Amino acid sequence: MAATHSNMMPMGTLAPEFSLLDTISGKELSLSGLKGNQGTIVMFICNHCPYVIHIKDQLMGIAHKYAKQGVRTIAISANDIVNYPQDAPDKMQALMAEWGNPFAAYLFDETQQIAKAYQAACTPDIYLFDNQLACVYHGRLDGATPKNDVALTGEDLRRAVDALLAGESALEDQVPSIGCNIKWKP
């Protein structure tokens, strides 16, 4: 696994619109149709990444907790499925069934154009947008990785969502996420 850091998105950047296949419902879903009333978490993940697997319980807990407060979580996989068939849509659907479908959608970015529009670099790559879809956070879940003994708390993302819900400005101390590189098509 190649450890890759996320590319930091400037605060205030508007979330690029998309319409992608939702592997849970089998329908094309758009960002404008999925966004939350209070905010939206967009995260690039994949099925096989050890960094994602390591933090999955926190990702699911955050999605459940904040959905009740008007913040929706959208997961997107953009990996090349020819070379990484474990990330194919049918496997994505099976994983979400196993996880209990915690997200508003688990979308497949087959062309990888949406990942490029977001300048996503790794899995997980986590973005938080306000109710106008302006970026207020882009960074890590917390300091835990599969390679260290830091406790999994989700504190960085939780702090950002709590600040958004409290009407506070974007956090100044945003640390890039680290994870496996997105598996780009040749």
Please choose, from the candidates 43, 91, 89, 87, the residue with its C-alpha nearest in 3D space to the C-alpha of residue 63.
Answer: 43
CB 15 within 8 A of CB 113: no
In which element (H, E) is residue 62 found?
A: helix 50-67
Architecture per CATH, 3-181: 3-Layer(aba) Sandwich (3.40)
Task: Answer with the residue of higher pLDDT: 44 or 169.
Answer: 44
Residues 69-116 pLDDT 10s: 999 999 999 999 999 999 999 999 999 999 999 999 999 999 999 999
Determine what percent of the chain is predicted with pLDDT higher than 70: 99
pLDDT at residue 45, as a whole number? 98
User: Domain spans of the chain?
Assistant: 3-181
Q: How many angstroms separate the CA atoms of 181 and 184, rounded?
A: 8
Determine what percent of the chain is predicted with pLDDT higher than 90: 94
pLDDT reading at 1 higher than 80: no
